[in-house]
Homo-oligomer: A and B are copies of this chain.
Amino acid sequence: MEVTRRDLLKGSAAVVLAGAIPRGVAADDDPLPSWNDGPSKEAILDFVRATTDHGSPKFVPEPERIETFDQDGTLWVEHPMYSQVVYCFEQVPALVKAKPELANVAPFKTVVSGNREAVSKLPTSELIKVLAATLSGMSVDQFEDKVKKWLASARDPRWKRPYTELIYQPMVEVLSYMRAKRYKTYIVTGGGQDFVRVYSEKTYGIPPEQVVGTAGGTTFGYDKNGRPFLTKDPKLLLNDDKAGKPEGIHMMIGRRPFAAFGNSVGDREMLEYTKAGDGERLAMLVFHDDADREYAYGPAQGLPDTKVGTFTPALYTEAQSKGWTVISMKSDWKLIFA
């Protein structure tokens, strides 16, 4: 059954029953009011028409309507540093207090020193040690509590707003619109699965079970009262980046998406895999070309690779040759944040 735009706008029983959250959909005929008219907006509307209109030769049955969205740089700000990495760094002082033997050990010593330049130069292998130490060795419930508390008080240094408010309003509209059209929206992120699951429902309307991310294992055990609980292990189960994204999609979802949104080389394989399916498929890349309202980084600016995911010239070329749509934040989006 199809939820018509009219149902959606009426907030009718149909939509409420279907669990669709019409948040971000404006009270006129336009489901994407924060998008300027142009090829990007048209690509989204065309795709939805082609796959959800009953008369369409490329109609997709509801259960198969799966879409995947990268998070960092696609749904929210990733610059100058992933929020989760900020979280991990900010856990280090407490970690060192609990384990004083780490105080003089690299890379913890560097992080505690507060020397930003030294921290920004930490090689990936050292960074991983910080992530592993701050993301494991506690129960999954303790971790969730820590992240919730941190999110409530942490502020982005530029906008002085909680990280969960720095989500791109045009993309929030895409999520809502797609859900109203009975697409299941998934986050597929290189970020930590357990981290993103803490806020995904409240922030994006995406429930924990629809978050696929980089994941460590857990170990089942019992506390002293015999109550079972899960401990987070430092062991990596799923490295949900690059080729790991389609691999993670197969593991966690088991179906090929009909649409995928990304913004960097970390999303390349996910977009290739999505587009290689039969029928109508949509692949879109958010291009950060708006230095005033957000950031500009990538090949167009001739910027060197940054710590965060990059939009390389090769990716741009591949997008052109394969019919992926590149979203210009500067020209396609009327506003960035709500």
Write the residues of chain A forming the contact surface with B, with a CB cutoff of 8 angstroms.
Answer: 1, 3, 13-14, 16-19, 62-63, 66, 140, 184, 193-194, 197, 201, 207-209, 211, 215, 217-220, 227-230, 237-238, 243-244, 246-247, 250-255, 269, 272-273, 276
A228, B276: Cβ atoms under 8 Å?
yes
Residues from chain B with Cβ under 8 Å of A207 in the complex: 63
Assess the B197–A254 pair: CB atoms within 8 A.
yes
Taken together as a complex, chains A and B put the C-alpha atoms of A244 and B219 apart, in Å, by 8
Q: Would you give 16 A-B contacts (Cβ < 8 Å), ordered by A? A: A13-B13, A13-B14, A13-B17, A63-B207, A140-B250, A208-B254, A208-B255, A218-B251, A219-B243, A220-B243, A220-B247, A228-B246, A228-B272, A228-B273, A237-B251, A252-B252
Copies, count: 2
8 Å CB contact of A273 from B208, B215, B220, B250:
B220
In the complex the two chains form, what is the Cα distance from A199 to B252 in whole Å? Answer: 17
Given the complex, which residues of B lie within 8 Å of A238, measured CB to CB?
Answer: 237
Question: Whole-angstrom distance between the alpha carbons of A269 and B226 in the complex?
Answer: 12
Given contacts A209-B255, A250-B140, A254-B211, contact A227 B18 (CB under 8 A): no
Is B230's CB under 8 angstroms from A246's CB? yes
Q: Name the 8 nearest CB pairs between A and B, nearest first.
A: A208-B254, A220-B243, A209-B253, A228-B272, A197-B254, A17-B17, A17-B18, A218-B247
Q: How far is the CB of A310 from chain B (nearest CB, A)?
A: 20
Q: Once the chains are docked, how many angstroms separate the CA of A52 from the CA of B192?
A: 32
Q: How many angstroms from the CA of A319 to the CA of B213 in the assembled complex?
A: 35
Pair B273/A218 contact, Cβ less than 8 Å: no
In the assembly, what is the distance between CA of A304 and CA of B140, in Å? 38
Contact of A269 among B66, B193, B220, B246 (CB under 8 A): B220
Chain B residues with CB under 8 Å of A252's CB are: 209, 252
The chain B residue sitting closest to A140, CB to CB, is: B250
CA distance A229 to B255 in the complex (A): 13
Contact B228 A269 (CB under 8 A): yes
Bound Cα distance A209, B250 (Å): 9
A273 contacts across to B, CB distance below 8 A: 220, 228, 230
> Which residues of chain B come closer than 8 Å to A184, judged between CB atoms?
209
New A-B contacts (14) at CB < 8 Å, excluding given A19-B63, A217-B247: A17-B17, A18-B19, A184-B209, A193-B254, A194-B254, A208-B255, A209-B253, A218-B250, A219-B243, A220-B273, A228-B269, A228-B273, A228-B276, A252-B252
Contact A62 B228 (CB under 8 A): no
